[in-house]
Amino acid sequence: MTLTSSGQILPGQWLGVLGGGQLGRMFCMAAQSLGYRVCVLDPADTGPAASVADRHLRADYTDDGALAQLAALCRAVTTEFENVPAVSLERLARDCAVSPDAAAAAVAQDRRREKRFAQECGLAVAPYQVLEEAADLARVDPALLPGVIKSAQLGYDGKGQVRVDRPEAVREAWERLGRVACVLERWLPLQCEVSAVVCRGRDGRSVAFPVAENQHRGGILAASIVPARITTALANRTRDAAVRIAERLGYVGVLCVEFFVLPDGGLLVNEMAPRPHNSGHYTIDACVTSQFDQQARILAELSLGDTRQLAPAVMLNLLGDLWFEQGRPRQPRLDAVAAIGGACLHLYGKFEARPGRKMGHVTILGTTLDDALARANEACAALGLEPVR
C-alpha cells in the first residue's frame, strides 16, 4: 500500500473493520466519505455494515484464513464491538495496524480489570466486590446491599445484570447468571449518568467531545442530551478523566467512558467501551467531526478533527419495540418524526425488528437545549415513547 512519508494511508486504499452491526455501518460511511474503501469481516451473511461495505468477508472472527485476507488487504483495522476475541486482534497486529490493540480492549472487556484500572488512574468507582466462586458468596459485604450483580464479561444493554437487596438474593442472582465471574456493586442514588467520547491518535494527541447526559430504560440507552445539564467544572472533570484513562491505557482509537454523577457532585467511573458509542451518535449531526469520522481519521493516521458542537442536541434510540403494538406488527410514525424541524433520522438497514433491538436513532437539533428537548418530546409523542426528562 502506498503511504505518505508520515505513515498516513492515502484515500483510495483499504481500511478494515471487525463486526457487521450499525457501528460498523456508520464507520464504513464515514471512511468512504473520506475516500477510503472498507472491508468488513463478519460471520453473518447480511448486516448493517456488510450492506454498505466495499467488501464483506463472511467468516468467524477467529478464522485464521479470513484474518490473513483482511490483514493482506487492509493496512489498518478497527473494531465495532468490544467483545472481539483478543486472539483475533493479536493475529491481525502481526501484519497490520490495529486499533484498539488487544491489551487495551482486554481492560474494557472485563469489569474487574476495568474497575481496578480506573482506580489505578486515581479515579473513583462505586463500592464493589468481586464474586468468582461460591466461597465468595459467604463473604459478601452487607454494606453493598442493595446492589446490582453484573457479569464480569459479555454484558451490555442491561444484559448480565441483576438487582439484589439481601444476601440470599446475591446467591440466587449468581446462580442465574451461570456461576460466572461477577462484580457486586452498591446501588447508589444518582443525580444523572453521563459519558465522554475520547479520540486518541497514534501520535498520542487526544480530543474529547462534549459530555452527554444519558437516560436509560430497561438497561438500554433511551436518550442522550448534549450538552449535559451539569456544571462546566464537572463537565471538564469528566472529559479530563476520560482522557486520563485513554492516555494511561496507551489507547489508540475512539473510547467512550460512562460515569455516575452523585447528588453531591461526586464523579464515579461506571464502564468504558473501546469503540464509538451509542451516546456519541449525536456527533454525526451536531458536531464539526463525528465520532466515526474520528475513527477513520485515526486508522488512516490523519489529523484528528474538530470536536466542537454546532447546536444543542437530543438523541433518541429507536428500538424494535416501536414496530409492534400489543404484539402485532405496525409501522411507527417515522414520517411524523422526519417532519419535525431539526430532526435527523438514521435507520440501520436491519430487515427484522425485534423488541430491544436497535433499529435506528433520531437526533433533534435546536437553537437552545430547551428547544431541542421540546422538539425531541414531539418525536416521543409521535412514536409513543416516554418523554425525555
Instruction: Give the rounded distance of the alpha carbon of 161 from its chain centre.
Output: 18
Q: Are residues 255 and 316 in the same domain?
A: yes
The domain that holds 132 is classified in CATH as 3.30.1490.20
Please spell the DSSP secondary structure of 194-210, one letter per residue: EEEEEEE-TTS-EEEPP
Cα–Cα distance for residue pair 149/141, rounded to 1 Å: 13
Domain residue limits at 164: 127-186
Q: What are phi and psi of 329, to 5 degrees?
A: -60, 145
Q: Are residues 218 and 348 in the same domain?
A: yes
Burial classification of residue 244, based on how many CB atoms lie within 10 Å of its CB (0-12 exposed, 13-18 middle, 19 or more buried): middle
Q: Are residues 163 and 241 in the same domain?
A: no
* Number of independent structural domains in the chain: 3
The domain boundary, picked from 186, 213, 229, lies at: 186
Binning the chain into helix, strand and coil, the percentages to the nearest 5 are: 30, 30, 40
Per-residue pLDDT of the chain (389 residues; tens, 9 = 90+): 333 334 799 999 999 999 999 999 999 999 999 999 999 999 999 999 999 999 999 999 999 999 999 999 999 999 998 888 989 999 999 999 999 999 999 999 999 999 999 999 999 999 999 999 999 999 999 999 999 999 998 766 667 899 999 989 999 999 999 999 999 999 999 999 999 999 999 999 999 999 999 999 988 999 999 999 999 999 999 999 999 999 999 999 999 999 999 999 999 999 999 999 999 999 999 999 999 999 999 999 999 999 999 999 999 999 999 999 988 999 999 999 999 999 999 999 999 999 999 999 999 999 999 999 999 999 999 999 999 99
Q: Are residues 250 and 336 in the same domain?
A: yes
Q: Which three cell numbers stand for residue 167?
A: 444476601
Q: Are residues 319 and 359 in the same domain?
A: yes
* Closest to 19 (Cα-Cα) out of 276, 245, 256: 276
- Prediction pTM value: 0.95
Q: Are residues 231 and 323 in the same domain?
A: yes
- Round to the nearest angstrom and report the end-to-end CA distance of the chain: 50
Q: Are residues 180 and 196 in the same domain?
A: no
* Per-residue model confidence (pLDDT) at position 156: 64
Q: Are residues 161 and 225 in the same domain?
A: no
The domain boundary, picked from 167, 186, 205, lies at: 186
C-alpha count within 13 angstroms, C-beta hemisphere, residue 366? 19
Q: Are residues 198 and 331 in the same domain?
A: yes
Residues 6+ apart with CB under 8 A from 287: 209, 210, 306, 307, 308, 309, 310
Question: Parallel, antiparallel, or unpaired: how do β-strands 76-79 and 55-57 relate?
Answer: unpaired
The domain that holds 303 is classified in CATH as 3.30.470.20
The domain that holds 28 is classified in CATH as 3.40.50.20
